Amino acid sequence: MAKPSHVTWGGRFSAGPAELMLTFSESVSFDRRLAPFDIQGSKAHSAMLAHVGIITTKERDAIHRGLDVILGEIEAGKFVWDKKLEDVHMNIEQALTQRVPAAARLHTARSRNDQVATDMRLFFKYACAALGEKIVLAQRAILKLAEDNQDVLIPGYTHLQRAQPVWLAHHLFAYLEMLERDRERLKAVADHANWCPLGAGAIAGTTLPIDREFTAVQLGFVDAKGKPRVTQNSMDTVADRDTFIEFAHACALFGVHASRIAEDLILWSSAEFKFIELPDTFCTGSSLMPQKKNPDSCELLRGKSARLQGNLHTLLTLTKGLPLTYNRDLQEDKPPVFDSFEQTGLCAEVLAGTFTGAEMIRNRCAEAVADPGLLATDMADYLVEKGVPFREAHHAVGAVVRIAEKLTVKLNNLPYEEVRSVHKAFGPDWTEVFDLKRAMKKRAGTGMPGPVQIKKQFGRWAKLLK
Ligand code: ARG
């Protein structure tokens, strides 16, 4: 049994926790990554305590110096973490107490409940910014592939059947949109995290005359005008795990996007499509089949997305049945968050690496996009321009497609008389619709893949991703 005096709450206990209980309940093995935020929080809190006169400025300075030394030791890997002290908060506080007598006053008007909430909000602000930067790298790599292949057309797909021609860039820009929303979402999570919990105490604040706004400003929990943002209900503050869930959700949705992008690349790199050659550096071989080059980075992106969704689900389930306010269950909120952070960062980097080394196989793209069936809709639009109602035009073109299939000729190789026999609005110029340049040029509206729009989008993305 550990001596009860070992832990900060040992006063009312006659026996310390069993060894098994220590192993079961410790979180320092995973929450020690919060140390820089914990120390930042403790410095702000002690600065506030000095500001309101609860401790002296001398005591504050001694605490600050001690915390700086501890941070140095942690960063140098020299700090000894002790699971008997449960978590990052008590490890640091104990170490400080052993060196600085004033440390005994540090935990005044503070609980680990508002402390851990603060550490995590600081973590989320940092993590969202860090992930945003990594996602930009992936976006830049995608933009580069688009730039290097500006003249490449491919079939666009619905139901995984060839649908209509698009510039490759248009397809790649769709990825940029998805990832841009992920970045926006992370910014929103960081904004939601931007409220200071310190001062909520364990549940109901404190009887001491603290200044929460002062602490908030110290820690950068401020609005655009620099005004402090302080949480407004002490019970909600220590019970709330919304930002955890929102963060995991932002990561999971990024994972869904990365997975869909990866799925395209897996298809495109198969012999059946062969639109793209993925870089050797992000593929692996088979131990048995010498010819194999497997798109493992993409498959793992698909796999990791399941894991990111699992983390979100863990947090939703963890939180849903808990009575207000803090319950120890909530300690389990950190592993899924940290895992989502790590894996999302890795996924973004791998996405960037995979795109950076990828090369389009232009002749295969050209062959695929030469399928005249891709322009059947343009044929219908041709009839519409001759005054035919769209439903009638659609039906007529469908009949033409059926005849081409029956005669086993390509749609654009049908004799004019056959086409004309289906609908008299088809003129001798009907094959002009099969000119891809013309087809693309006509798609001129906002958001469409026409050359004018594509040029605009190149400019927009170059600016956004600079
Ligand atoms: N390690 C704990 C956690 O992560 C810190 C808060 C502990 N609070 C308490 N009342 N035991 O949730």
Q: What is the pLDDT of residues 373-383, one digit of tens each?
A: 999 999 999 99
| pLDDT for residue 460 | 98
Pocket of ligand 1 (CB under 6 A): 27, 31, 87, 112-113, 116, 326, 328, 330-331
| pLDDT for residue 14 | 83
User: Which segment of 7-16, 157-166, 189-198 scores lowest on mean pLDDT?
Assistant: 7-16
| pLDDT for residue 1 | 45
Nearest residue (by CA) to ligand 1, atom 11, is: 328
Residues 452 and 384 in one domain: yes
pLDDT, tens only, 243-260: 999 999 999 999 999 999
Nearest residue (by CA) to ligand 1, atom 5, is: 112
Residues 328 and 405 in one domain: no
Return the ligand 1 atom nearest residue 87 CA: 1
Name the residue of 315, 331, 333, 338 to mutate for ligand 1: max ligand atoms within 8 A of Cβ.
331
Apex 282 CA angle, 280 and 286, nearest 5? 70
- Residue 81 sits in which domain range? 18-108
Residues 396 and 317 in one domain: no
Catalytic member of 27, 159, 234, 395: 159
What pairs with residue 98 in β-bridges? none
User: Is the pLDDT reported for residue 314 higher than 80?
Assistant: yes
> Is 277 within 8 Å of 361 (Cβ atoms)?
yes
Distance from residue 345's CA to the centre of ligand 1 (Å): 27
Percent of the chain with pLDDT over 90: 94
For the question of residue 159 being annotated catalytic, the response is: yes
pLDDT, tens only, 337-356: 999 999 999 999 999 999 99
Domain boundary among 335, 366, 397: 366
Nearest to 38 by CA among 133, 102, 107: 107
pLDDT, tens only, 200-214: 999 999 999 999 999
Asked if residue 377 is part of any domain, the answer here is yes
User: Is the pLDDT reported for residue 9 higher than 80?
Assistant: no
Nearest residue (by CA) to ligand 1, atom 4, is: 331
Residues 172 and 316 in one domain: yes
| pLDDT for residue 8 | 72
Return the ligand 1 atom nearest residue 326 CA: 10
Return the ligand 1 atom nearest residue 88 CA: 1
Distance from residue 112's CA to the centre of ligand 1 (Å): 6
Nearest residue (by CA) to ligand 1, atom 12, is: 331
Distance from residue 439's CA to the centre of ligand 1 (Å): 63
pLDDT, tens only, 57-114: 999 999 999 999 999 999 999 999 999 999 999 999 999 999 999 999 999 999 999 9
Distance CA 47, CA 57 (A): 8
User: Is the pLDDT reported for residue 129 higher than 80?
Assistant: yes
CATH number at residue 326: 1.20.200.10
Q: Residues near 436 by Cβ (< 8 Å), separated by ≥ 6? A: 153, 165, 369, 370, 375
Residues 236 and 359 in one domain: yes
User: Is the pLDDT reported for residue 197 higher than 70?
Assistant: yes
Distance CA 273, CA 276 (A): 8
| pLDDT for residue 17 | 87
| Residue linked to tokens 């995991």 | 248
Taking the whole predicted model, whether its pTM rises above 0.85 is answered as: yes
Structure tokens at 4: 């009860």
Distance from residue 67's CA to the centre of ligand 1 (Å): 21
Domain boundary among 350, 366, 382: 366
| pLDDT for residue 4 | 52
Asked if residue 219 is part of any domain, the answer here is no
Distance from residue 187's CA to the centre of ligand 1 (Å): 27
Asked if residue 217 is part of any domain, the answer here is no
Distance from residue 214's CA to the centre of ligand 1 (Å): 24
Name the residue of 30, 34, 90, 112 to mutate for ligand 1: max ligand atoms within 8 A of Cβ.
112
User: Is the pLDDT reported for residue 198 higher than 80?
Assistant: yes
Return the ligand 1 atom nearest residue 9 CA: 11
User: Is the pLDDT reported for residue 2 higher than 60?
Assistant: no
CATH number at residue 70: 1.10.275.10
Residues 188 and 247 in one domain: yes
Distance from residue 328's CA to the centre of ligand 1 (Å): 6
Catalytic member of 286, 287, 305, 395: 286
Name the residue of 8, 113, 327 to mutate for ligand 1: max ligand atoms within 8 A of Cβ.
113
First-last CA distance in the chain: 59
- Average pLDDT, rounded, for the chain: 96
| pLDDT for residue 244 | 98
For the question of residue 269 being annotated catalytic, the response is: no
Residues 287 and 393 in one domain: no
Residues 376 and 338 in one domain: no
Structure tokens at 225: 């005008």
| Residue linked to tokens 């120390």 | 39
- Where does the pLDDT of residue 15 fall: very low under 50, low under 70, confident under 90, or very high at 90 and above? confident
SS (H, E, C) the chain: CCCHHHCCCHHHCCCCCCHHHHHHHCCHHHHHHHHHHHHHHHHHHHHHHHHCCCCCHHHHHHHHHHHHHHHHHHHCCCCCCCHHHCCHHHHHHHHHHHHCHHHHHCCCCCCHHHHHHHHHHHHHHHHHHHHHHHHHHHHHHHHHHHHHCCCCEEEEEECCEEEEEEEHHHHHHHHHHHHHHHHHHHHHHHHHHCCECCCCCCCCCCCCCCCHHHHHHHCCCECCCCCECECCCHHHHHHCCHHHHHHHHHHHHHHHHHHHHHHHHHHHHCCCCCCEECCHHHCECCCCCCCCCECHHHHHHHHHHHHHHHHHHHHHHHHHCCCCCCCHHHHHHHHHHHHHHHHHHHHHHHHHHHHHCCEECHHHHHHHHCCHHHHHHHHHHHHHHCCCCHHHHHHHHHHHHHHHHHCCCCHHHCCHHHHHHHCCCCCCCHHHHHCHHHHHHCCCCCCCCCHHHHHHHHHHHHHHCC
Bigger pLDDT: 290 or 138? 138
Percent of the chain with pLDDT over 70: 98
Return the ligand 1 atom nearest residue 86 CA: 1
Distance from residue 82's CA to the centre of ligand 1 (Å): 16
Name the residue of 87, 198, 334 to mutate for ligand 1: max ligand atoms within 8 A of Cβ.
87
Q: How many domains does the chain have?
A: 3
